[in-house]
Every structure is written in structure tokens, then in C-alpha cells.
């Protein structure tokens, strides 16, 4: 029989209470993700000495799923052109990439400390705008088909001019994509 003053039971209750205090809110500007006590409970395991610990594989999987959902580096984006067309733009060196290894460490530390925090995840690569439309409203659009360049500042079209881009036949094509 186990009583309320059982040493193992008291120790486990203290461990669970410490971990259950944690609530980590990831801030993605226009979106959030919350790691709450219920989620944390599903990541707990018991060792041979009846101590609760975070299963690192489950924390890693959660952080990886955040990366799958929020990484934008080189991803395909929906884009509305200056002339009103909706196109898809893929490639380039612009966007966000979660630093998964460091984020696992930071999240684990937040949980083990029983912290309630709102924070941005750690990144390997950062874009300029963390909202779902990570291009934002200040950018240059180069239309390779129509040979036009438009410059937007804070959503306002300031420049719309003809341009001459690279020559694919001479292996000097202008690359497509979103660049930072």
C-alpha cells in the first residue's frame, strides 16, 4: 500500500508539479503555438529510479513539426504581382529556418524550470517579417516575363520601370525565387 507520505510518491508529485507549471507560447507575429501542461505530460517518462523526465525524442519531434510548419527558407510562396496576377514563387535564399537543436535545448530548459514564457523560437536563418506573409510590404518585384521592376515601400508602389534581366541563352539567366 502507498500512503500520502510515501517518499517516492511525494518526490513524483513535486516533479510533476514543477513540470506542470510550465507554459511556453511561441510567438510567430500573427500566429502562436502553445506548449501547455497537458502536452508536456504526454512527453514525460519514468526512469528506473521512478523519476520523471522529459522524453527528448518527443520534444525533438515537436520542435521538428514546428519547423515543418513555420520554416519558409526556399519555400514556394503565393504572390500577387503588381499587375494583379496570382503566381507561385519558389526558390531563393530568403526565409526562416528554425535552429532545431538549440530550440530543443531552450524548450527543455523552459519546461524543467517550470516557466511561463512567451518567446520567439531560435533560428538558423531569419527573414525580415515573421508573419505568415514573410516577404512583408517593403520589397522589389522583378517580373522576368514582362521585364519590369516594381519597388514597394510599406505597401506603397514607389517605382515601376522597365528593366533588362539576364540572358538564358548565354547562361546568364536571372534566377527565380525570393532573395533577402
Task: Specify the pTM.
Answer: 0.83
Phi first, then psi: give them for residue 7, nearest 5 degrees.
-60, -45
* Each residue's pLDDT tens digit, 15-35: 777 777 899 999 999 999 999
Q: Write down the mean pLDDT value for the chain.
A: 91
- CB atoms inside a 10 Å sphere around CB 179: 13
* Each residue's pLDDT tens digit, 105-159: 999 999 999 999 999 999 999 999 888 889 999 999 999 999 999 999 999 999 9
* Each residue's pLDDT tens digit, 129-143: 888 889 999 999 999
The helix or strand, by DSSP H or E, that contains position 52, with its residue range, turns out to be strand 52-54
Rounded distance between C-alpha atoms, residue 54 and residue 46, angstroms: 9
Phi first, then psi: give them for residue 102, nearest 5 degrees.
-70, -30
* Each residue's pLDDT tens digit, 61-101: 999 999 999 999 989 999 999 999 999 999 999 999 999 99
Block residue for cell numbers 522529459: 54
Amino acid at each position: 500500500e502507498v500512503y500520502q507520505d510515501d517518499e517516492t510518491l511525494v518526490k513524483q508529485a513535486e516533479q510533476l508539479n514543477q513540470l506542470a507549471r510550465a507554459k511556453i507560447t511561441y510567438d510567430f507575429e500573427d500566429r502562436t503555438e502553445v506548449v501547455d501542461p497537458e502536452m508536456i505530460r504526454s512527453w514525460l517518462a519514468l526512469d528506473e529510479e521512478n523519476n520523471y523526465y522529459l522524453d527528448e525524442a518527443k520534444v525533438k519531434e515537436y520542435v521538428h513539426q514546428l519547423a515543418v510548419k513555420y520554416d519558409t527558407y526556399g519555400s514556394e510562396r503565393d504572390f500577387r504581382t503588381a499587375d494583379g496576377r496570382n503566381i507561385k514563387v519558389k526558390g531563393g535564399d530568403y526565409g526562416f529556418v528554425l535552429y532545431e537543436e538549440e530550440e530543443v535545448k531552450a524548450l527543455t530548459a523552459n519546461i524543467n524550470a517550470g516557466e511561463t514564457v512567451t518567446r520567439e523560437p531560435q533560428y538558423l536563418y531569419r527573414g525580415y517579417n515573421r508573419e505568415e506573409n514573410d516577404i512583408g510590404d517593403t520589397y522589389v518585384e522583378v517580373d522576368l516575363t514582362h521585364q519590369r521592376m516594381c519597388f514597394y515601400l510599406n505597401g506603397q508602389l514607389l517605382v515601376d520601370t522597365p528593366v533588362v534581366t539576364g540572358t538564358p541563352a548565354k547562361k546568364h539567366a536571372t534566377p527565380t525565387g525570393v532573395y533577402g
